[in-house]
Amino acid sequence: MPILLHELKKIFNPVMLVMLILINLLMYFLFIEFELTYFPNGRPATDTYRISVEMIENYGLELDDHEFTDFKTVYQQELSKADDWIQSNSDLSVLGVKSLANFQTMDIRDASFNEIHNQLVFEQGIDLFWEVPAREWIIEQREQTINDYESHIWQGATESQSLRINQVVESGTVHAIFPDLVGDNFHRFSQSVLITVLLSVMFMIAPIFIKDYKHNLISLQYSSKVGRRLFKLKLAAGLLATMIITTGLLIVYYCLYSANNTGMFLHSNINSFLGFLYWYDLTFIQLILVTTVLMYVIAISLTLVTTLVSRLCKNYTSIVGIQLPVYILMYWLIVHQHLLGDGLLIYQSQIVQGVIYSVLIFCPLLAIFLKWRSENHRDMLE
């Protein structure tokens, strides 16, 4: 235990902690801040979000047929308000625009109309010009899903995808209110957070053996029974440090994410007519939990690799040369949606996901096990 604590102190020395904070500040402003500052991102995303929140408040977590009829009634009321407002606008009357339908079909290349259009829609941001089309889009999504989900959304679906789509539609799960902008935002946020966590873990764990090499302590370690156990103790310290780092960063970033005000969707099923389909029936909060667990798994896997590389390399240049391609590979897998919650989307092969996670878990474990055995039998002169 004293050795383990000593190794943890070496990992979390003040200089490394300051560097860890600086790295996270840099990564936050480069990757994470955008998903927190610009959500919802512009219009009509803001209107879709606001209407979705209104639907949750009025109808609950799902929009059944009766509630859908009521929603269409509200849409007609809002459309009438828009038509009345347009008819009362003198500038639009001069151009012969008498309804929202006329407004939407006018030639934007007409200089007079273009000027008024930009003023009303973009400069003044009149809500009716954004909210009514957003409601119309929601209605189209709901009706499109009921009529023929597969032909409209998943053309060329495989047999297993078609079975999953039919299962979701027939069970009524697809009536869940969960807009795609919420799911997209969380997926991009979690990707950026994992990229930051992995960089932080690599930075903190990589030097775990380097200082021993610099002070010529490696060969001395094999002259005693305690010294031969040091590899295992350093590995344990690295794993414990990874858990501490990952937990601390996730607490900070999830607290920041809570400001996005998506709490009303936590118990909504993520398979929704407003968004995408997944292979599994999960609520949003369950998706968050699954994503969090996967983050820990990936961080621990990278820790095993980093510890092994640190033991094999005798200087920082070698470590960077090996770890950089590893990090680039992890980055590629993350941004191409092969890891985390977006790996559960219906267009992602679950066989491929299983192979990727098997490699991520078992290859580092096997390599560490073989290295551990060699450490126990290594000659002190090697």
| 109, 188: one domain | no
Assess if residue 51 is contained within a domain.
no
- Distance, CA of 249 to chain centre: 15
Single pTM value for the model: 0.88
- Same domain as 231, residue 336: yes
Whether 231 and 344 map to the same domain: the answer is: yes
pLDDT at site 207 = 86
35, 188 Cβ separation under 8 angstroms: yes
Answer whether residue 45 is part of any domain.
no
pLDDT given at position 152: 43
* 216 and 341 both lie in a single domain: yes
Per-residue pLDDT of the chain (382 residues; tens, 9 = 90+): 677 887 888 889 999 999 999 999 999 999 999 999 988 888 899 999 999 999 999 999 999 999 999 999 999 999 999 888 888 888 888 888 888 888 888 877 878 788 888 888 888 888 888 999 999 999 998 888 755 555 544 556 777 888 888 888 888 888 999 999 999 999 999 999 999 999 999 999 988 877 666 655 555 555 555 555 677 888 888 999 999 999 999 999 999 999 999 999 999 999 998 988 899 999 999 999 999 999 999 999 999 999 888 888 777 788 888 889 999 999 999 998 888 888 888 888 888 888 999 999 999 989 888 877 776 665 444 4
Name which of 179, 146, 184 is nearest 165 in CA terms: 146
Q: Which domain holds residue 367?
A: 2-40+177-377
**CA–CA separation, 40 and 53 (whole Å):** 12
Q: Are residues 117 and 235 in the same domain?
A: no
Does 207 lie in the same domain as 82? no
Q: How many domains does the chain have?
A: 2
359 assigned to some structural domain: yes
198 belongs to a structural domain: yes
Amino acid 44 reads P
Nearest to 104 by CA among 77, 125, 84, 86: 86
Burial class (CB in 10 A: 0-12, 13-18, 19+), 211: exposed
The answer to whether 283 and 341 have CB atoms below 8 angstroms apart is no
- 314 and 186 housed in the same domain: yes
Pair (211, 358) in one structural domain: yes
Does residue 99 fall inside a structural domain? yes
3-class DSSP assignment, residue 62: strand
Q: What is the pLDDT of residue 341?
A: 83
Rounded distance, CA 113 to CA 369, Å?
A: 72
Cα–Cα nearest to 187, from 367, 320, 87, 334: 334
pLDDT at residue 380, as a whole number: 46
Which string of DSSP letters, residue by residue, matches 254-292?
Answer: HHHHGGG--GGGTTSBS-BTTS--BSS--BHHHHHHHHH
What lies within 8 Å, CB to CB, of 220 at 6+ separation is 227
Last-in-domain residue among 126, 158, 190: 158
The pLDDT of residue 294 is: 95
- Taking a C-beta distance cutoff of 8 angstroms, is the pair 204, 8 a contact? no
Q: Are residues 181 and 32 in the same domain?
A: yes
Out of 158, 187, 207, a domain closes at 158
Q: d(Cα 338, Cα 353) in Å, to the nearest integer?
A: 6
* Max Cα-Cα span within the chain: 95
State the pLDDT at residue 381. 42
Residue 117 lies in a domain: yes
212 with 276, same domain? Answer: yes
Is the residue at 81 inside a domain?
A: yes
Whether residue 150 contacts residue 277, with contact meaning beta carbons closer than 8 Å, is answered with: no
